[in-house]
Structure 1
Amino acid sequence: MILRKRKTKLYTGLSFFILLFVINRLSLTFHGYSHGPVQVLILTYMRSGSSLTGDILQHSQGSFYVFEPLRSLCPHNCSSIILRNLVYANGSKRTTPISFNKTSYSILHNWFNCSITELPSVGLLDVFLDKGWKTQLFFPCYVGFILKTMNHSYAIEECARQLGDICERSPIRIVKTIRARLNYVKYLLDDFPNLKIIHVVRDPRATLWSQSHFHMCLADGGGRYRCSKNLCGRMEDDIAESHRLSKTYPNRIMTLKYEDLAKQPIEISQKMYDFISVPMTSETKMYVYNKTKAGNKNDCEICSTRANSSAHIDYWKHFIDPDFLDIINTRCDFVLRHFQYDEYTINKSSNATLRFLPAS
C-alpha cells in the first residue's frame, strides 16, 4: 500500500489527550441546541467562492465541516453512473455500475447523520478532508493504526468510528459540495428537519473565466460553449428547483451571491449565521475580517484567504476574451438577468469597455 505524501502528525500520547479535550469541548457545545444538531448544506459550482463561505461557517463554535465529500466519486466531470467498485469503511462493497445521484445522496445523508462507517473508504482518504478542522483527524489516525497493526481495513473502520463519535458531539454539521444538484438532494430536507441549504452563486462570467484560466474549458471537452452551457444549465435548473422548494420548505433555502459576501463580509456572514440560527461571536467577526480584509496574501487558488475579497470580484473583466464573453452573455442571459448582474460587453474594434445599468 502506498500512503499519499501528506503533512501529518501521528497519534502520540499527547495528541490522544488533545483529542479527548476536543471531544469534551464539543460535548459542552451541545447545550443550547435542545432541538438537535443543525445541518447546513452549501451547494454551489466550481470556482464560485464557496470555499470562503464554508470556512466562515466552519468558524462557528462546535462545527463539523466536510469539504467536497463527493470528489472521490468524480474528481472532474460527473456522470450519472460511477464506473468503479466501492469499498465502505464497514467492509461492505458495491460493484459497478453505481448510480451517482443515489450514492451522492447516501454520502451526504451519512455525513449529516454521522454514520461515518457507512461511507466509501476512498472518500475518507481524500486529501480534501484535511480542510475540515475535525475531519483532518482521520488521516493521522489511519496512519497511526496502519503503523501499529498493518491492517488497512481495521484502520479505516476504527478511525471512521472515532470520527463518527466526534461528529455526534458536534451541534453544527456543515457540508460543502460543487457536485450535487438541488433536485437530487431535496429529500434531505425531509430527512433532517433542521437542515438549511445555502445556495452560493457567482457571476457566471467570473466563474467561467476562472474555469477557463485553470484549463477546465479545453476544446477536447467541448470548449468554451460547452463550459457555458453546462454551468448555466445547472444554475437554471437550481434556480427553478429552489423556487419550488421554497414554497414547500419556507425559510430552509438561502441564495447567497458571492459578490455580496466579498463586498460586505461581516454583514453577509451575520445573515448566514442568522439563517442557520447560530450565534456569530465577536471572535468569529474578527476572523472574517482577517480572512477578507486584513491584507493577507492570496496564498492559494482554492483557499479562502484573500488580501481584499472585494478587490478581486471584477478581476475577470481585465482579462476575459471578447469572444468568450459573447458566448457567456448569450448562453447565460437568463442567469445574469435573474441575479441582476450588470451587463458587460467589450467593443472589439476599439477594445473599449461598455457597461450598462442592471437588467430589468
Structure 2
Amino acid sequence: MRMRIKYAIILFFLVALVIIEKENNIISRVSDKFVLKFPQVEFVGPNNTISARALTENNTVAASSNSALGQLHKAQRNCSMLRTTLGGEERKEVTGRRHLLLMATTRTGSSFVGEFFNQNSNIFYLFEPLWHVEKSVTFEPGGMNAVASSIIYRDMVQQLMLCDLYALESFLFPMPERHVTGILFRRGSSNSLCEGAVCTPPKKGGTQRFPCRVRQCGLLNMTLATQACLQKQHVAMKTVRLRQLEYLRPLVEDLRIDLRIIQLVRDPRAVLASRMVAFPGKYDAWKKWANEGHVPDDEEVGKLRGNCENLRASAQLGIGQPPWLRGRFMLMRYEDIALEPLKRAEEMYRFAGIPITDEVKTWIYENTQASKANDNVYSTHKNSSEQFEKWRLGLPFKIARVVQQVCEPTMRLLGYKLVKDAATLANRSASLLEDRNFRAI
C-alpha cells in the first residue's frame, strides 16, 4: 500500500508537468530540472522523459500505474463525499464565502499579520501549509525552477482553498494512517486546527511534532479538519513560498473560489537584517562581512538581486491591476501595519469583504502594545510601533548600501527611501517611508 501511494505521488507530479506544457509549452525544459526529495523515490529526466525507481532493498519496482492512479483520486473522492454528506449545510456556508491568501517572503512580519485572520473564529486559517510541499519537492537550479515550483504550489493552494486537506497527505512523511497525523507543520499556529471537534482528546503514545499551543489535543484527524473547513464561513492562509503572482491567475478565475490576495512587503534592508539574526547559518557570508570585512561573493549578491526582482515583478503586476486581477489584489507594507495596526487590519478586512470581529480588535490591541520588547525573533507579541525599525541600529551601512544598489528599483516602487550615510540610517527620527496609496496607482 505504501508503495502504491508513493507512485501516486509520482503521477501527481507527472500531471503537474503536463499542466506546465499546456500552460507554458515548456515541459521539455522543466522535466530535466525536477527532482523529488522523497527518501525512496527519485525522478530523472534524460531525453525529456520521466522514470521512477523505488529504492527498496533489491531496487525493484513494485506498483502498477492503474493502482497509483486510483490512489491519486482517492483524496478527491473523500472530500467530495464530505461535501455531499454536509449537503445543504455546506451550500449555505459557501454562499458569500471569501478566500484570502496572504502572500509574503520570510521575515516580513507575515506570522504577525496572519494572526489578524487567525483570531477570527469565522475564518478557517492555515499557517504555511506549503512547508511540507517544499520539504518533499526540490528543483535543480535553472530558469524553469520558479515556473515549476509556482505551479505546484498554486495547485496545492487551490485544493486547500476548496477544503481538500487530504491533498496534503501525500507530502507528509511518514504518511498519515487513516488520515491521522502528528507532523503537520506549526499546527498550533492555526486556531482552526486546535478547536472544536478537530481537537480530539489526547491518547497515550500519540506524540506530535507540532502540538497545539493553547490546549492539549490529540493527533490531527484530516477528515475532521476538512469538515471544520467546510463549515467555516471563510478560508484564509498565509505562505512565504508562493512568490510569483502571475501564476495565481487560474485561482483568481476559478469560479469556485472568491479569492483575494494580499501581498505583504517590507524594506529589503530590514528583511536582510532580520534574516541575518534568524538564519545565521544561511547568511553567514553577510555576517562575516559585517563583523570581519569579508565581502560576500557574487552568488550571495545574486540571490539578493533575484529576491528583489521577484518581489518587484509581482508587486508591479498587482499594483497595475490587470483586468483579471482588478479588485482582487492589495499591497501592504509591514511598516504601515506596524505604525497603525488596527487601521490597516480594518482596511484588509474591507478589501477581503469580511467583517472584522471584536476578538480580532482585542488581539491586535493586546499584542501591539507590549510594555517590554520581546527578543524572540518568531514572536507575534511586540510593541509594533517601536520595534519595526529596530534593525536600523544594528545593520552596518556598508551592507545597507549594497542592498540599496541591488534593490533600488524595488525600493523605489514600494516607497522606501534610500540613505546616503550611516548617520541617516541610524537616525530613527528620519522616516524611510514615502507616503503611498498603492491601490490608487
TM-score by length of 1: 0.73
Q: Structure 1 residues 74 and 119, CA, compared in 2 at 3 Å: closer, same or farther? A: closer
Residue aligned with 1:198, SS: strand
Could you tell me how far 1:109 is from its partner in structure 2? 1.0
Q: 1:238: which partner in 2?
A: 314
- 8 Å CA contact retained: 1:346, 1:352: no
Q: Structure 1 residues 316 and 75, CA, compared in 2 at 3 Å: closer, same or farther? A: farther
- 8 Å CA contact retained: 2:119, 2:191: no
Q: Which of 275, 283, 295 is 1:217 aligned to? A: 283
Q: Which of 175, 200, 223 is 2:237 aligned to? A: 175
The structure whose RCO (Cα within 8 Å, separation 6+) is larger is 1
Q: Structure 1 residues 204 and 188, CA, compared in 2 at 3 Å: closer, same or farther? A: same
Q: Percent identity at matched positions?
A: 22
Q: Does 1:333 align with 2:423?
A: no
- 8 Å CA contact retained: 2:198, 2:225: no
Per-residue deviation, residues 247-294 of structure 1 (Å, max 9, x unmatched) = 323211110111111000111111111111111233321221111114
- 8 Å CA contact retained: 2:98, 2:234: yes
Could you tell me how far 1:314 is from its partner in structure 2? 1.2
Could you say what the CA RMSD is over the residues aligned between the two structures, in angstroms? 3.8
Q: Within 1, Cα distance between the matches of 2:366 and 2:171?
A: 34
Q: 1:127: which partner in 2?
A: 185
- 8 Å CA contact retained: 2:337, 2:345: yes
TM-score by length of 2: 0.61
Matches within 5 A, 1:1-360: 35-74=95-134, 80=139, 99-123=148-172, 125-136=183-194, 144=203, 159-181=221-243, 182-191=245-254, 192-213=256-277, 214-215=279-280, 216-219=282-285, 224-295=300-371, 298=374, 300-306=376-382, 308-347=383-422
- 8 Å CA contact retained: 2:131, 2:185: no
- 8 Å CA contact retained: 1:343, 1:358: no
- 8 Å CA contact retained: 1:44, 1:178: yes
Could you tell me how far 1:343 is from its partner in structure 2? 2.1
Could you tell me how far 1:297 is from its partner in structure 2? 5.3
Per-residue deviation, residues 167-225 of structure 1 (Å, max 9, x unmatched) = 10011111100111212223211124411001001111101111122323233996652
Letter in 2 for 1:337: R
**Matched length:** 307
- 8 Å CA contact retained: 2:187, 2:194: yes
Task: Give the helix-richer structure, 1 or 2.
Answer: 2
- 8 Å CA contact retained: 1:105, 1:184: yes
Listed as ranges, the gaps of 5+ residues in structure 2 are: 1-88, 142-146, 173-180, 207-218, 286-295, 436-441
Q: Within 1, Cα distance between the matches of 2:302 and 2:267?
A: 17
Q: Within 1, Cα distance between the matches of 2:420 and 2:337?
A: 24
Per-residue deviation, residues 104-147 of structure 1 (Å, max 9, x unmatched) = 12211111101112223445723322210122469975975986
Q: Within 2, Cα distance between the matches of 1:309 and 1:335?
A: 24
- 8 Å CA contact retained: 2:106, 2:240: yes
Q: Structure 1 residues 101 and 281, CA, compared in 2 at 3 Å: closer, same or farther? A: closer
Could you tell me how far 1:353 is from its partner in structure 2? 6.0
Q: Structure 1 residues 142 and 105, CA, compared in 2 at 3 Å: closer, same or farther? A: farther
Could you tell me how far 1:73 is from its partner in structure 2? 2.6
Residue aligned with 2:419, SS: strand
Q: 1:151: which partner in 2?
A: none
Residue aligned with 1:187, SS: helix
Residue aligned with 2:276, SS: helix
Listed as ranges, the gaps of 5+ residues in structure 1 are: 1-28, 83-97, 148-156
Q: Structure 1 residues 79 and 335, CA, compared in 2 at 3 Å: closer, same or farther? A: farther
Q: Within 2, Cα distance between the matches of 1:357 and 1:127?
A: 35
Q: Within 2, Cα distance between the matches of 1:352 and 1:118?
A: 48
- 8 Å CA contact retained: 1:115, 1:164: yes
Q: Within 1, Cα distance between the matches of 2:235 and 2:257?
A: 13
Q: Within 2, Cα distance between the matches of 1:233 and 1:218?
A: 22
